[in-house]
Structure 1
């Protein structure tokens, strides 16, 4: 399972860690922590030194009922963050968490390696064309609606079956445009109840039928802290447990806030599995 990131082939047959770095004032866990250059450089360096293969930059919070951010403001947040990280860490592979084609375009032209789209093109019909034109790896997440409406769109007859169909259609469209490097994200917490999140995790190996790498993003999410009756700040242990389960189900990328712990999780998982 190789993906081409700016000419560098990354082997996902051995699971990798993607560290989360939000340059937003309102993300559910780390909102507002990384607002200036020094903070961004420090956190990026920390994640890379701890073993992150990728850093996922976001400039628009996708938490439920997130406030609207203009396209212009999103670009003005994300581009300087890309520039400052690549200035200090030129070999860093940056993933950009956006559902807007214009933001994706500006980010790729600034040096980003991957686009991570929570809507898989549903919220911007130009996104697939941008990915095809620039030939970058594309993470396609499952979601219904948008961050403002998704939590009201949780009515499924068979959630995993419907998600498999959703991804099959997205892969077909991407392949028709010549997009080669695709990664699937089940979208834990997006248009899913807590029970549905756990059902998807329990059956996540089904997505391996599509023969594409699967990303698991459960880090500190409400499916953990609501179940444990604690908070996002107290959900690291629960995150590690679910990350381990995700690895047993075939996850190839763990998208996390806490890189060191996720790298340790993969190291021990690999030890058991030879």
Structure 2
């Protein structure tokens, strides 16, 4: 039975990945900061899908947390989903530097280190994959959150390019607005975002798994966001900033 490790697995896109992969017959290793919430998620997944679920509490903003997940990845994981992440209330440099550094570590250092820990075993076995959850925000310079997600996308594309014709796949998943608790946790005002811009987490994951199977290096769920990011890649920087502001959130 294949094994998937999912970071940030207790809510939103991470939880949707856990449900989808359990339904597909994966055993799971789920990780997040809240041990009690992890245990509850594990019980629900075991009961509903009859799969093995290993719980690994870890704060990826800490060295101890990163090292514990790295050690697990060096064993027998077939699919890594780097999903853990968060937003900040306030713009740079208004937000505390400690919060900015924490976001940088979770979004960038953790993605790099966990991918680095997982790939050697996958390459040795000749199978496996890594999904790094990025964001459409990475195509629009609207703050340090978008800057970290631009890194995740570029990093994933670069690693995938380096793997060449290997059967092991690395993909950046770049969703737009998804109905999760992400914005509420960051106290971001999304009241001005029109309904048609929102996606469900389950839809995002379904499209991601399809795109991974097809060997895509960047997955952008829905036609509307594919069009929006194509626009962001082709128009002048000044217009990109205006589009970013138009689809942004109030803090």
TM-score of the alignment, normalized to the shorter chain, above 0.5: no
State the TM-score, normalized to the length of structure 1. Answer: 0.37
For normalisation by structure 2, the TM-score amounts to: 0.39
